[in-house]
Amino acid sequence: MKKEKAIMTEEKVRLILEEVTDLLLRKNQDYGNASFDLGLNGNMVHLWDKVRRFRTLVENSIKNGDSVPNFESIEDTLKDIIGYGIIGLLILSEEKNR
């Protein structure tokens, strides 16, 4: 019997989280904490925009095959979604501690 290759392993998850952490910290340096200025409402808007972008990229990929987007890829967009999720958790934590 052939052993299935594990799609999700701790090592794979940690690698993605390390990449997202690095990206998030570099972007925060560039934007100067701007993602926190509008609280959870602003965070929700950023997440909504990224989820819509993800939807469009996936739909275009299905419709057009291997079409290359003009700007960020599906991978970039998913990393941003994770990043905005982390920012949302940080905002929530900060609001609870006030």
pLDDT digits (tens, 9 = 90+) for 7-61: 999 999 999 999 999 999 999 999 988 889 899 999 999 999 999 999 999 998 8
Predicted TM-score (pTM) of this structure: 0.86
Six-digit token pair at 63? 């419709």
Q: Tell me if 84 sits within 8 A of 57, measured CB to CB.
A: no
Six-digit token pair at 77? 């967009």
Which amino acid makes up residue 73?
S
Tell me the C-alpha distance between 15 and 55, whole Å: 24
DSSP annotation of 7 reads S
Tell me the C-alpha distance between 44 and 46, whole Å: 5
Q: Tell me if 40 sits within 8 A of 95, measured CB to CB.
A: yes
CA-based torsion, 53, 55, 59, 64: positive or negative: positive
Residue 75 pLDDT greater than 80, yes or no:
yes
